[in-house]
Amino acid sequence: MDFIGLLNLLHIKTRNMNKTSQEKNYHHFYEKIFWSPDRVPADPSAITDFSFECELKNFVNHFKLHNKRVLEIGSGYGQFQDIVSDYTGVDIVEHLRMFYHKRFFVVKEDGIYPFQDELFDAIFTNATLEHIINIDQALTELLRVLRRGGVMLLNVAWQVRPWAAKGYEVRPWKDFGWREKLIKVSIPIRDSVVFRLLYIVPKRLWRTMRFIISQASSKLEYKKIPANYEIFWVSDSDACNSIDPHAMILWFRAHGCEVLNYSSFWSSFFVRTGTLLIRKK
């Protein structure tokens, strides 16, 4: 083996070791900290995202899913398990099973969903995809287990800020060194609409041009960000993906799906936040 080949091999081994370490921290955080039995509230069913719950009910009613097979990804305490009669929940922590009176499955470390192809009529997920380490595989699995003509409702924390992991916005100045103080003081500027437009619009133009030319995208375009698997400073401190909804829309279109609530070029180009409604052709 030549020197370049040796360097490539070492790089691959180092990358795989880092990935394995990240996955161990990921599973430890959700099993021992975030979903720890010690943190279980008195009434888990009372904890819900009322805004998403309203959208979910409309989703169920509009597509007449009450007696259809419905899968929830990242189902947590199972707050939505009674939204339909034929419900299945999926998460990564085994002891969450105690909160379910309907079907619940645990996704193992290989990330493969324990279901046959085209089993479900509908899938929904709330604030989960931004936390999945191998998101490309997760999206592929969603399409695999959804029947043709089936629908998905995806609620994602879009474009999670890279400073969330360290809690810059909520921690006092004394916690930081001078480099981190510069980051903290820059946040209002970096989070402003004007600054973000200067960054996002050129990327979307370039992404759209590539899509028009190739009409294909095997992998989702997104940014890996550092996740904090030790201290939950703020919402999405534990997120590992920062995803532009525009990129997600193009990914689904490239994989033969319709994005029902952003069907036109202009609506998808200027998408900001909110849910995506997907139909598999």
Residue 268 has pLDDT above 60, yes or no: yes
**pTM: predicted TM-score of the whole model, two decimal places:** 0.89
Pair 25, 58 in one domain: no
- As given in the structure block, the two tokens for residue 265 are 């070029």
**How many folded domains does the chain comprise?**
2
Pair 11, 143 in one domain: no
Pair 19, 145 in one domain: no
pLDDT of residue 253: 94
Pair 131, 213 in one domain: yes
Domain hosting residue 149, numbered range: 38-162+200-280
Please give the Cα distance from 146 to 135 (Å, whole number): 17
* Better-predicted residue by pLDDT, 140 or 1: 140
* CATH number reported for the structural domain that contains residue 213 in this entry: 3.40.50.150
Pair 26, 126 in one domain: no
pLDDT of residue 127: 95
Please give the Cα distance from 203 to 212 (Å, whole number): 14
Confidence band (pLDDT; 50, 70, 90) for 216? Answer: low
pLDDT of residue 32: 87
- As given in the structure block, the two tokens for residue 129 are 């995809």
Pair 91, 148 in one domain: yes
Within-domain flag for 99? yes
Pair 8, 141 in one domain: no
pLDDT of residue 20: 59
Within-domain flag for 238? yes
pLDDT of residue 109: 75
The DSSP secondary structure of 256-274, one letter per residue, reads TEEETTS-SHHHHHT--SS
Within-domain flag for 210? yes
What is the DSSP secondary structure assignment for residue 72, as one 8-state letter?
E
Mean residue pLDDT across the chain: 89
Query: Kind of pairing, strands 276-280 and 146-155?
Result: antiparallel
pLDDT, mean of residues 103-116: 91
Residue 1 has pLDDT above 80, yes or no: no
Pair 112, 204 in one domain: yes
- Residue 133: Cβ within 10 Å count: 17
Name which of 223, 164, 161 is nearest 195 in CA terms.
161
- As given in the structure block, the two tokens for residue 210 are 């590539």
The DSSP secondary structure of 134-175, one letter per residue, reads SHHHHHHHHHHHEEEEEEEEEE--TT--TTTTTTTTTS-GGG
* Better-predicted residue by pLDDT, 76 or 214: 76
Pair 85, 155 in one domain: yes
Pair 50, 30 in one domain: no
pLDDT of residue 50: 83
Confidence band (pLDDT; 50, 70, 90) for 28? Answer: confident
153-175 pLDDT, tens digit each: 999 999 999 999 999 999 999 99
Pair 229, 101 in one domain: yes
Name which of 39, 36, 99 is nearest 72 in CA terms.
99
Pair 98, 135 in one domain: yes
